[in-house]
Structure 1
Amino acid sequence: MLPQRLKILRKQNNWTQLVTATKLNIPRGTYAHYEIGKRQPDYGTLSNIADLYNVSIDYLIGRTDNCTPIGQVKKTKGIDEQINDLLKQLEENTTLNNSSLDEETKRILIKMLNTTKEIVQNTNKRNNNRFI
């Protein structure tokens, strides 16, 4: 499985064997032997290959068809970050989601979001103090 996956990943990146080997800091012939199955990379090289292609080692060796590296989770914004984004949008624009805002409505929304942000921060502090 490893030889096929190496070849597929290399071609997806439009790299030659020489370019790939250079990126891995190994001889081209060594990399070529990995692709045809004559040699197996050591653990360090296998890890470097996984990092280079941003895939998991399990994917490279055929234990899974999911190429996403283990532990790589798409980071989502927390509530406080989302509130900051809304505050920034309100402060920079006179519209929110394509709706016009008069100054009074804008002021009320900013005040409400700031209050909500304080509540979130205080809740986070309380929760963090529970485990200290």
Structure 2
Amino acid sequence: MVAFSDPKCKGLSPVFPVYPVKNLCSAGTKFFSFALYDKYRFQVYYTKCIVAPLERVEVRDMNEEFSRTLSLLRQEKRVSQRTAATALGISQALLSHYENGIREPGLPFVVRACDYYGVSADFLLGRTLSRDGTTIAPEELYDLSDEKDNSLRGGVLALLSKKLLVNSIGVLFDLLAKTGSREAIRTCANYLSGAVYKMYRRLYQANPANNPDFFSVPPHLFEGGLADADMSCSESEFSAALAAQVKEKAPLPELSNDILARDYPVLYQSLLQIVHNTGERVNGLLEGRKSK
């Protein structure tokens, strides 16, 4: 491996824009660590002597995301592979290989694709969900609950349901913050995110006109319960995180009615409502089974 200034590198392609993996291995031997990725990603080039070994490297996560995103962007643009290939200066067959993850493009193609679809390279490579490549800090997230006069399309029921959930989740995460357990917070967020993901995906796929490729999880895996399995794992991890807090005798928040009513005089009412409604619904299922 040599620096880009070496005359041997003329006409060769950079390693990392083509092979963005954590550990690149040549004949089973690690020769470049991920820790040096950002420092050397645009400076290190490969010579012909290691091109063949690199072709045997298994490149999965980011490459799969790249091919899926590339295909999704074309479908969103409502153009055929032939049209897109012509605009991108390659053959239709080669574009098909790129979209199916059979072959990996070079940096020039990535640049042209970014310009053609109007997205950043980070988005195209699956490194960010923002199409312009920006990242959002927690303090920059838009909070709908901050709006005093906000209203949702769908009437009173949608607005009431939203407030109950937003207020209750606010209390939940504030209480979790008092435990000091990052693992408990992370796994709880994963579980709730899974629930939102499932409901949004059900709503999305209810309209046949929507592109199913929008989601990276294949339909057969989603319908097979993969998202449910993830939520179950998150719930187990959450329980384990809380058990670890107890074992370590770490502080846990007091959850008596008086304390919660004092600390969350408004939000606590929403949490109580959810606890009551859910309890009634769940007990109703049990009663129905007993009567049979």
TM-score (norm 2): 0.24
Please give the alpha-carbon distance, in whole angstroms, between the structure 2 residues aligned to 1:69 and 1:57. 7
Please give the alpha-carbon distance, in whole angstroms, between the structure 1 residues aligned to 2:103 and 2:94. 8
Show CA shifts across 1:67-103 (max 9, x none): 1156xxxxxxxxxxxxxxxxxxxxxxxxxxxxxxxxx
1:18 Cα offset (Å): 0.5
Structure 2 gaps of 5+ residues are 1-64, 135-292
Show CA shifts across 1:8-66 (max 9, x none): 10001111110000000100000000000001110001100001001001000100000
The match for 2:85 is 21
The match for 1:66 is 130
Please give the alpha-carbon distance, in whole angstroms, between the structure 1 residues aligned to 2:104 and 2:121. 13
The match for 1:31 is 95
Matched, 1:11 2:75: yes
Larger RCO, structure (CA 8 Å, separation 6 or more): 1
* Divergent runs of 4+, >6 A: none
Aligned pair count reads: 70
The match for 1:55 is 119
Please give the alpha-carbon distance, in whole angstroms, between the structure 2 residues aligned to 1:69 and 1:22. 26
Q: What secondary structure does 1:39 align onto?
A: coil
Structure 1 gaps of 5+ residues are 71-132
The match for 2:106 is 42
One-letter code aligned to 1:8: L
One-letter code aligned to 1:15: V
Please give the alpha-carbon distance, in whole angstroms, between the structure 2 residues aligned to 1:57 and 1:64. 9
Please give the alpha-carbon distance, in whole angstroms, between the structure 2 residues aligned to 1:23 and 1:61. 20
One-letter code aligned to 1:7: S
The match for 2:46 is none
Please give the alpha-carbon distance, in whole angstroms, between the structure 1 residues aligned to 2:128 and 2:108. 20
8 Å contact from structure 1 (residues 54, 69) kept in 2: no
One-letter code aligned to 1:39: R
The match for 1:121 is none
Matched-pair identity in %: 33
Please give the alpha-carbon distance, in whole angstroms, between the structure 2 residues aligned to 1:11 and 1:5. 10
